[in-house]
Amino acid sequence: MKKVLLSGIQPSGDLHIGNYFGAMKQFVDMQNEYDAYISIVNYHAMTTIQTGRELRENTLKSVIDHLAVGLDPEKATLFVQSDLEGLNELTWIFNTLITAPYLERAHAYKDKAEKGIEPSMGLFDYPVLMAADILIMNADVVPVGEDQRQHVEMTREIARKFNNKYGDVFKEPKEMIMKEVAVVPGIDGEKMSKSYGNTISLFATDTEIRGQVAKIVTDSTPVGESINPQNDNVFALHKLFSGKEIDELRQRYEKGEIGHKESKDILAENIIKYLTPFRKTREELMNDKDYVYGVLKEGAKRANGKAREIIQKVREVTGIKYV
């Protein structure tokens, strides 16, 4: 049998190329190899989105976006987190096993709070809900970015603690981090994130892409002088979009034969060429909502069939099921 893969993405706004290379592309590449479950995690998104209309629209857009980049609902199960029965119940059960000091260890919580995101209980409890996301599907592997590694480690610890209390119910999942794309740099050189406002949009227009690329932060090296490609934010994105030209670009950087503006122009055109087929497919899907709703209905059915086995075991061993 294929190993179970589970991962998810927050419908917290327009997706960007960091979402694509850090997660979505991996889902597409691995959908033949794994029994893949991809969740649009709308409960998690409620830590930052608290308008019903916005959350509904973002959720549907995120589903369409995943289909547009090549996720095949015949090969992978695509579903919305809130359609999963028993998930919040499992989160509560896990919450009875862990402590507040344990959750205070989470780096992501501290980082977001320091950046001005309201430190709500939902944000604080994020690792527990994520553990429930993973363990209710009995996942073997979890593709995540480097910044989420600790959350998968915490998931293993929660599974271990539950098993020690109630018997072996959960397997301990492993994180899967693709080193070369684990952290996609934003236009400021930091990790690309909607929260930081440093993104290049996945489905932007040609003009918008050129404008976003033009804003990439560079040093003041003048044209004609050598630039170290390893320290250049533009070149870091060339590695993702300019594969056939990358060796030539590296040589031009080192010889001082290219300046930042020309490099950005080349990058922008390569990004546009790469993303245009996705944009066309997305437009078609936006005009066929019945198909999209059908995908979600079938996805919820499959996901609940998988999760039901786990939640029934949990109810039995914890005594929640009392007859």
Cβ-Cβ contacts under 8 Å for 253 (sequence gap 6 or more): 226, 227, 228, 229, 232, 235, 263
Residue 161 annotated among the catalytic residues of the structure: no
Residue 297 annotated among the catalytic residues of the structure: no
Residue 194 annotated among the catalytic residues of the structure: yes
pLDDT at 110 over 90: no
Determine what percent of the chain is predicted with pLDDT higher than 90.
78
Distance CA 278, CA 271 (A): 11
Residues 82 and 219 grouped into a single domain: no
Residue 8 pLDDT level (bands cut at 50, 70, 90): confident
Residues 225 and 308 grouped into a single domain: no
194 is in an annotated binding site: yes
12 is in an annotated binding site: yes
Distance CA 201, CA 301 (A): 32
The CATH code of the domain that includes 208 is 1.10.240.10
Mean pLDDT calculated for residue range 186-207: 92
What was the pLDDT predicted at 182? 66
Token pair, residue 221, equals 């090296």
Residues 161 and 212 grouped into a single domain: no
pLDDT at 125 over 70: yes
In a domain, 59, yes or no: yes
Residues 177 and 266 grouped into a single domain: no
Residues 214 and 174 grouped into a single domain: no
Mean pLDDT calculated for residue range 15-22: 90
Phi-psi region of 189 (alpha: psi -120 to 50; beta: other; left: phi over 0): left
Residues 114 and 248 grouped into a single domain: no
Range of the domain at 212: 203-283
Residue 33 pLDDT level (bands cut at 50, 70, 90): very high
3-state helix, strand, coil in the chain (%, to 5): 60, 10, 35
Residues 146 and 77 grouped into a single domain: yes
In a domain, 193, yes or no: no
145 is in an annotated binding site: yes
pLDDT tens per residue, range 63-98 = 999 999 999 999 999 999 999 999 999 999 999 999
184 is in an annotated binding site: yes
In a domain, 196, yes or no: no
Which position among 112, 115, 264, 301 bears the catalytic label?
112
In a domain, 189, yes or no: no
What was the pLDDT predicted at 181? 66
In a domain, 246, yes or no: yes
Residues 168 and 37 grouped into a single domain: yes
Mean of pLDDT over the chain:
93
192 is in an annotated binding site: yes
Mean pLDDT calculated for residue range 265-288: 97
Residues 105 and 217 grouped into a single domain: no
Q: Is the pTM of this model over 0.75?
A: yes
3-class secondary structure, 77? strand
Of 108-117, 146-155, 263-272, 299-308, minimum mean pLDDT range: 108-117
Residues 91 and 228 grouped into a single domain: no
Which position among 194, 215, 280, 289 bears the catalytic label?
194
114 is in an annotated binding site: no
Domain count for the chain: 2
Residues 136 and 211 grouped into a single domain: no
Residues 244 and 301 grouped into a single domain: no
